[in-house]
Amino acid sequence: MKRPLVLLKAGSAMEAVRQRYGDFEDWLAAGLGLPEEHIRLVRVEEGEKLPRPEECGAVVITGSHAMVTDNLPWSVALAQWLPEVVERGIPLLGVCYGHQLLAAATGGRVDYHPQGSEIGTVSIELLPEAADDQLFRGLPPSFPVQAYHSQSVRTLPPGAILLARNNFEPHHAFRIGACAWGVQFHPEYTQAVMAAEIAAATEHLTADGPNPSALLATVRECPEAGSLLARFARLTTATAR
């Protein structure tokens, strides 16, 4: 029997966004395109027990409004669990918070970005190493993504392969081991979700610097970024035992 893809819920979108569009796990499941019975949801931020790594056909870690540097008990437990998943070669994708936690768990450093938050539709540039990467190969050298983060990976883990960056964020995507990826951006966000996140965070954004109206004017769909989820799902099918 095929082992399930384990979707680790590390947090939730803002309430106003959830009421209209659902939550992180809904968008990720839709992008992955796997049958519902092939996905096992584990609400780690609520204290649900992590499965044994050998029970996982693949792992996806959602975003969160928590901060990696808060060292919350569930987050510390998840960070301690991740290295074995990487060592076993189980396909893993960390998104935003998941990206940062993967880096921290394998020897990298995470902290607040010195220039503040990156939010909205931004462009990223693939590095030459992405051409041979089984998740990123074949994508354009530059494409738009949806971003919403104030912390980031300040130092990559030893041995990590940098795959994507932009002028604001030097570590937008990396791979460590054979098939563990972190992406700082949100491949699961649609244009509508990104716009709703900006609208819900208007008060914070006004205080923090970026102009919400200007951000909303640039939001658009990001099909190349979104395609990474289906690409990842195909890899999990190819490597499942």
Active site residues: 96, 186, 188
> Which tokens is 20 given?
């209209």
CA 188 to chain centre: 9
Report the alpha-carbon distance of residue 223 to residue 226 in Å, rounded. 5
Using the 8-state DSSP alphabet, how is residue 64 labeled? Answer: -
Strand partners, 161: 175
Length of the chain: 241
Strand partners, 7: 41, 60
Burial class of residue 54 (count of CB atoms within 10 Å of its CB; 0-12, 13-18, 19+)? exposed
* Contacts for 161 with CB less than 8 Å, ≥ 6 apart: 129, 133, 174, 175, 176
Contact assessment for residue 80 and residue 73, using Cβ atoms and an 8 Å cutoff:
no
Q: Count the alpha carbons within 13 Å of 147 in the hemisphere toward its beta carbon.
A: 27
Report the alpha-carbon distance of residue 226 to residue 224 in Å, rounded. 5
Report the alpha-carbon distance of residue 116 to residue 4 in Å, rounded. 37
